[in-house]
Amino acid sequence: VQRLAEEFGGKHVKFRSLGFKPEFFGVYADATITECIFLDNAIHPAHQTLNAFSSFITMVYSSVRDGFYSEMRRMRRASNSFSTGSNSSYVRKTISGDINLDLPQRSASPGNESSESDFSAVIVIPANDDNLAKSPSNDV
């Protein structure tokens, strides 16, 4: 069951481009528990049914989430190993003044929040660099 759940979660990575977030797995889990309780049709005491299905579905969707994040890490590693400088994913930050500013560090593994950025590196370029593109002027 755990292996199947991880495979199921891994298959959802491709839906990120359509707006899928791993937080949706929690909604699926809640709906699945609710449906299982309805399907029990009051054959067992409600607290036993809720406890049993909550434990099982929590384990299943924990594996689904693990599979999702494992596949994301695998895809990032694969893309990083084949990427070149111009095609790699990075953020360009321009800083004026002290170059030794503390930049936020990204954790090595994704957390439960998907609001973190998907960027793999931060490039710092001083603001006084003459090679930077100039903003267009309105003097026509």
Mean pLDDT, the chain, as a whole number? 73
pLDDT on residue 123: 44
Q: Could you read off the pLDDT of 45-72 as tens digits, one per residue?
A: 888 989 999 999 999 999 999 999 999 9
pLDDT on residue 85: 52
pLDDT on residue 42: 82
Residue 8's closest CA among 60, 52, 73, 56? 60
pLDDT at 24 over 70: yes
Instruction: Read off the amino acid at residue 18.
Output: L
When pLDDT is averaged across residues 11-26 and rounded to a whole number, the result is: 94
Stated as kind and residue range, the H or E segment containing 7 is helix 2-10
Q: What whole-number distance in Å separates Cα of residue 120 and Cα of residue 122?
A: 7
Q: What whole-number distance in Å separates Cα of residue 69 and Cα of residue 84?
A: 24
pLDDT on residue 13: 95
Q: What whole-number distance in Å separates Cα of residue 9 and Cα of residue 71?
A: 8
Q: What whole-number distance in Å separates Cα of residue 85 and Cα of residue 81?
A: 11
pLDDT on residue 137: 52
If pLDDT is split at 50, 70 and 90, which confidence band does 14 have? very high
Q: Is the dihedral of CA 14, 17, 23, 27 positive or negative?
A: negative
pTM for the full predicted model: 0.54
